[in-house]
Amino acid sequence: QSALTQPRSVSGSPGQSVTISCTGTSSDVGGYNFVSWYQHYPGKAPKLMIYDVNKRPSGVPDRFSASKTGNTASLTISGLQAEDEADYFCCSYAGSYSLVVFGGGTKVTVL
Amino acid sequence: EVQLVESGGGLVQPGGSLRLSCAASGLTLSSYWMHWVRQAPGKGLMWVSRISLDGYKTNYADSVKGRFTVSKDNAKNTMYLQMDSLRAEDTAVYYCTGESPGDRVDFGYWGQGTLVTVSS
């Protein structure tokens, strides 16, 4: 069982929006503004999509946005495109001992 | 272009050892904290270990402490993970990843992973 809880799958039609939740505790997600999100195509290297809760690295489309409320972080993909079909996982700083914890990953399917 | 290429994975019996390598190009390992992260089949990611810029500071997840050793050769721009006393639960894809610079806690650089299977 992963430290952070994500839905196993979400789906949407092209052009729609989907939101992925990532629920932790006050010791990780709720305690720090160091939540990041990654896009992962099977067999490929994961790609950083969001860092520091809601910041996008250069090159990441602004269709990807994120936020955090309490112990739950969220990633929203707006204007869903076929190329967005991938696994997405969240990550949070969890203190100097545990360092970081990850979510179990969410498969996004474009219908 | 940054590339991290893992190698050394394979099938090993319980109790055996394996050494993973992570060769970097386009990124100087002496300038980054580097980590190993793994994903067991059907499971989420799990942080395994990290090593400091100069290679003198290391940290490990409790589940691998005392069995795994991370190291790096900055001259070869390569990081290693020596895995001893392997258990079935260590079966996973192991990813080499580089921590983003600055006052951040995220991973801007990833390899494609190498599969380790521990089975008799």
Q: Do B45 and A2 touch (CB under 8 A)?
A: yes
A44 contacts: CB under 8 Å, gap ≥ 6:
B112
- Residue A62 amino acid letter: D
Number of Cβ atoms within 10 Å of the Cβ of B86: 22
Residue A1 has pLDDT above 90, yes or no: no
- Residue A76 amino acid letter: T
Q: Do B95 and A44 touch (CB under 8 A)?
A: no
Q: Do B45 and A45 touch (CB under 8 A)?
A: no
Residue B5 near residue B49 (C-beta atoms within 8 A): no
**pLDDT digit string, tens, across residues A54-104:** 999 999 999 999 999 999 999 999 999 999 999 999 999 998 887 899 999
Number of Cβ atoms within 10 Å of the Cβ of B113: 23
Q: Do A43 and B112 touch (CB under 8 A)?
A: yes
Residue A47 near residue A58 (C-beta atoms within 8 A): no
Contacting B residues, span 21-40, partner chain A, CB-CB under 8 Å: 37
Which residue is associated with the tokens 């997840």?
B61
Tell me the shortest Cα–Cα distance from A46 to chain B, in angstroms: 6
Q: Give the nearest partner residue to B105 out of A2, A100, A102, using CB atoms.
A: A100
Question: Which pLDDT tens digits describe chain B residue by residue (120 residues)?
Answer: 999 999 999 999 999 999 999 999 999 999 999 999 999 998 899 999 999 999 999 999 999 999 999 999 999 999 999 999 999 999 999 999 999 988 889 999 999 999 999 999
Distance CA A39, CA B93 (A): 16
Which residue is associated with the tokens 């589940």?
B63
Judge whether B44 is closer than 8 Å to chain A, CB to CB: yes
